[in-house]
Amino acid sequence: MRAALAPPRFRSTRQPPLATEKELATFLAEVERRAFKQAVFAVRDEHLALDLVQDAMLKLTERYSGKPAEELPLLFQRILQNTIRDHYRRLKVRSLWSTLLSSLRGKHEEEEYDPLDTLEVVEGPGRPLGPAREFERSQVMRLIEQALEKLPRRQREAFLLRYWEELDVQETAEVMGCSEGSVKTHCSRATHALAQFLKAKGIDL
């Protein structure tokens, strides 16, 4: 007689239960102190560290509250580390832009000149700024953002790709669909226009 065939085995597709509001609140309460210590070690400023932790907790709540409770610890760590990295990236960009614009002062008027070709930028987070200096820099950044809105579209695109997205000249040219010389021209015109805008506002970088 033919042996009876065993019934096929099916892999369970049951998903783990999603975190309840109570579980999410409990997790955040338990992780807050440890996360705060992590952030303090990273940025060396308690007030800033608290802001970063609260930002990370808000992101977790808004974007991943529907995830299973067992996934929350890893998700939160990724969000927290990304939040800290984003903070340092913003500091780096602000420092770059300020140094970039202050280095012009009427130099290098030729069209195909990209200031990053000669600009020396110190890598790494460096020492944290004091409250007064941080406020001053945030004010300058707001003015730069206003000036960016007034730039022609191609100049603004080149500037942001080079000095915000940190693409090199070749990569920027590929994204914009133009020559590398055109990228340098757009960057040169944009940086000079921004420097003139800040000068008119009484900003001496």
Amino acid identity at 194:
L
Sign for the CA dihedral angle at 21, 26, 27, 32 comes to positive
CATH architecture of the domain covering 103-117+129-200: Orthogonal Bundle (1.10)
**Model confidence pLDDT, tens digit, residues 40-73:** 888 888 888 899 999 999 999 988 888 888 899 9
- CB within 8 Å of 141: residues ≥ 6 apart: 94, 97
Torsion of CA 187, 189, 193, 196, to 10 degrees: 110
Local structure of residue 152 (DSSP, 8 states): -
Domain ranges of the chain: 21-87, 103-117+129-200
Q: Please name which of 151, 137, 135 lies closest in space to residue 194, comparing C-alpha atoms.
A: 151
**pTM above 0.75?**
no
Q: Categorize the per-residue pLDDT at 166 as very low, low, confident or very high, splitting at 50, 70 and 90.
A: confident
Tell me the three state secondary structure of residue 68: strand
The confidence band for 152, taking pLDDT boundaries of 50, 70 and 90, is very high
- In the block, tokens 């506002």 appear at 201
Side-chain half-sphere exposure of 7, counting CA atoms within 13 A: 2
Q: Which two tokens stand for residue 54?
A: 């609260």
Residue 144's pLDDT is what? 81
